[in-house]
Amino acid sequence: MQPNEEDIRTRAYDLWKQAGEPKGRDDDFWHLAEQELRNEDKSSTLRTPDNL
C-alpha cells in the first residue's frame, strides 16, 4: 500500500523541522518521508497476501 500525500507531507515537515528547517531541500525531505513510510508499511505485522 502506498502512503498517502497527507502522511508524506506530515512526515516530511517533521523531518524538516528536526533538521533545523534548511532552505531549498523540500524534495529531499519529501523523498525521505515517502521512503520511510513505505518501509514502515513493509515491516507491518499485519501483512497478508492481499496487501503485499
User: For residue range 1-52, what is the model confidence (pLDDT) as tens digits?
Assistant: 688 999 999 999 999 999 999 999 999 999 999 999 999 866 655 555 554 4
What is the three-state SS of the chain? Answer: CCCCHHHHHHHHHHHHHHCCCCCCCHHHHHHHHHHHHHHHHHCCCCCCHHHC
In this prediction, residue 2 carries a pLDDT of 82
- Give me the pLDDT at residue 22, please: 96
Instruction: Say how far apart CA 12 and CA 35 lie, in whole Å.
Output: 10
Residue 47 has what pLDDT?
53
